[in-house]
Amino acid sequence: MKKLSFLLLSIILTPALLPGQNSDGDDDPKRSTLDFSTGYFNYASIDALFSGNIYSGGAPFISVGYQKQKRTPTQTIFRLAYINRYPHSLNLHETVVPATSNLRLINHMHFEVDDFYFFPVPGLSRNNLTVSIMLNWFSSIDLTMNNRMMPEQLLSTIAPGFMMDFNHSRHHIQARVSTALISYTCRSNYSNTLPQDYEKLSIGRFIRINSRLQLPNSLQTIFSEINYKYSFSDKIGGVVYYNFRYLHNAKPRTLAAVSGTYGFGIYFKY
Amino acid sequence: MRTKYYLQILIWTTILAGCEQILLEEEFQNTPRDNFNALWQEFDHAYGAMHAKKLNWDSLKIVHGNTLANSATNKQLFDAMSGLLNEINDGHSDLTAPGVGYFRSWHRRDKSYYDDNYTQNLGKVGQHHSIIRKDYLNQQYQYISVDGWFFFYGTIERSNQKIGYLCIPTFYLGNFPDQFIQEAVESFQTMDAVIVDLRYNGGGTTEAFVKTLNLFASQPKVFLKSKFRNGPGHNDFSEFFDHRINPNPNCLQNMPVVILVNSFTASSSEHFVLGMKTQEKVITVGDTTCGAFSSVNERILPNGWKYRLGGQVLYTPDGNLLMDENGQYLEGIGLAPDYYIPDQWSSLEKGVDMPLERALIVVKDSLPF
């Protein structure tokens, strides 16, 4: 069990630990950026394993990011939110679905690690505009806390894409988009039954029997973000951003999920 | 000009904020036909026993749904859905429609708790248990009450024999009193036999019944196999999953056990019976059990009605479908007891519990097994 938990954490956290920030011997003292942000995270999904209905909700989130400017710029973002999600269109009767039922309310914990590697394309870059090919390693844990903490989905995906970066004076605008190429996922089985090792539920067994690798024929995503930064000085600045994601996973039954993240924060260069 | 441009961006951002979910679309809307189709389709895609029960699901959709119009009343929709579910005869398939009705697919749904006195009043069961405590345990018993469920055990003395008696009214508790059950088992270790009363025990969680089973069974065995639906085709199933007994180190050792059952002994209780029947010296007395074996999922229709279905199909340890001697899959049919003695209210009123009396005779006549 501990080994499996360690394996899971490794899968999720490895992208964050792999940037290799020191590999090019960069010694510029102000080429690293640390940012803290918060805002509002909206999430909605239809998970056919659980229901044919949309369950949606929103909640504040917290986020920490680290960025390194070097020959291959990298960025890592951690984001956490607890969301109460409610059925979008259902009129549920108290005597049929009690207040504590996850058919009425999903206590959803979302944690993600978003890791980026940028490869600038010199031919497409002009003056203040930089265009980069981007490799996005995105990992997320979505747990239903009031269903024995079972995952709606564990996801770790490699998503290539593009990034455009525009700088003018104190203004900095970045837009990026990527789509999943190869993904590790773990969701409940087709019959949505919890594996039980006799006396107790087994999260380790859940992961062991429900993990799979997926390609775009069964899992499609759009990950996108636009952000605006304003430098107050050469060390500190503010940031606002909107992040949009869409996911469609056909295995074992259809999960369609969409999220919108509205964030603002502060960054420090050092 | 630039201010106007920024203002437009701000307005559109505000309008679109939080509207991401408009990109999602529910397959079924809240119309009578869509509700019926949603129910039919979920069973088509996920119900485990389609083939085991030889159901022609496509035809049944036509039979029960074809005349349903979008102008249908809730009552008409409920009747159409009930008709469809009635074809299944499964103790775990049901439909709850607030303000309209409740329908259980189980064909014995109107069966009385007592053979000679029609009732489905749980209060009578409470009186029944009081009679056992008074007339068989002589008010000498240990008990624990959990969320309104009354568990109790004691000793019945007959013909110089000491027989342990334990009433387990449910396995449906997150805080199941397994410590109390273990204390009962410890107290039974020196007795001549044990009676486990599972009448009216409608089941509950796997964790609860497995812990109990592992306290009463001393031989490690596979007592059941099952498969789960893993695709929309009626023959799409997972590999076999083995249901095992792993005896607790403090389990009851090689003791004759009689299990009291009736038509309301369901689900996890029936799994307990199946597990115990792989052991030596185990007899069942009472009425045929409910026949609700599959693990069950709850789902909601677009109109807010709730239904349940099971995606599991059950097999014997040697890999054959769980069937009776007539070749009928046991979901909805139940497990026949070794001794058929239905509960009689008129006898209980005289202080005589007929199945329990037969259990005591079985124990007396059969010792040692």
DSSP state of A13: H
Tokens linked to A123: 């031919």
Host H or E run for residue A158: strand A150-168
Distance between B239 CA and the closest CA of chain A, angstroms: 11
What's the residue count for chain B? 369
CA atoms within 13 A on the CB side of A162: 6
- What are the Cα distances from residue B62, in Å, to A257, B48, B88, B337, B365? 34, 21, 15, 38, 56
Strand-pair partners of A244: A224, A260
pLDDT value at position A16?
46
Q: Smallest Cβ distance to B20: which of A44, A191, A253?
A: A44
Q: Using alpha carbons, select from B274, B323, B237, B298 the residue that is nearest to residue B92.
A: B298
The string of pLDDT tens digits covering residues B311-359 is: 999 999 999 999 999 999 999 999 999 999 999 999 999 999 999 999 9
pLDDT in tens, chain A (270 residues): 444 455 455 544 554 444 433 333 344 456 899 999 999 999 999 999 999 999 999 999 999 999 998 888 899 999 999 999 999 888 888 888 888 888 899 999 999 999 999 999 988 878 889 999 999 999 999 999 887 778 889 999 999 999 999 999 999 999 999 999 999 999 999 998 876 555 566 788 888 889 999 999 999 999 999 999 999 998 999 999 999 999 999 999 999 999 999 999 999 998
B46 contacts A190? CB cut-off 8 A: yes
Q: Which residues in B220-237 are b (16+ Cβ under 10 Å) and which e?
A: ebebbbbbbbbeeebeeb
- Contact between residue B219 and residue B247 where contact means Cβ atoms under 8 Å apart: yes
> What spatial distance separates the first Cα and last Cα of chain B, rounded to whole Å?
98
Q: Where are the alpha helices (DSSP H) in B143-243?
A: 178-188, 206-216
Regions of chain B short of the pLDDT cut 50: none
Please check whether residue A227 is in contact with residue A264, taking contact to mean a CB–CB distance below 8 angstroms.
Answer: no
pLDDT at A233: 93
Q: Bridge-partner residues for A85, per DSSP?
A: A106
* Residue (of A153, A113, A121, A97) closest to A15 by Cα position: A113
What's the angle, vertex CA B282, arms to CA B277 and CA B285, rounded to 5? 95
- Select from A45, A97, A192 the Cβ nearest to the Cβ of B306: A97
For residue A127, the model assigns a pLDDT of 82
> How far apart are the C-alpha atoms of B45 and A252, rounded to whole Å?
12
CA–CA separation, B126 and B20 (whole Å): 53
Say how many C-beta atoms besides its own lie within 10 A of residue A43's C-beta: 25
Q: Which residues of chain B neighbour A201 with C-beta distances below 8 Å?
A: 207
Angle at B168 between CA B162 and CA B171, to 5 degrees: 150
Do the Cβ atoms of A52 and B297 come within 8 Å?
no
Q: Tell if the CB–CB gap between A52 and B302 is shorter than 8 Å.
A: yes
Judge whether A120 and A130 are in contact, CB under 8 Å: yes
Q: What are the start-end ranges of the H helices in B136-244? A: 178-188, 206-216
Q: Residue B321 gets which letter from DSSP?
A: B
8 Å CB contact of B312 and A196: no
Q: Do A52 and B295 touch (CB under 8 A)?
A: no
A270: how many CB neighbours lie within 10 A of its CB? 10
B190 and A CB contact within 8 Å: no
Q: What is the pTM of this model?
A: 0.89
Q: Specify the residue for token string 């964790």.
A: B207
A214: amino acid identity, one letter: Q
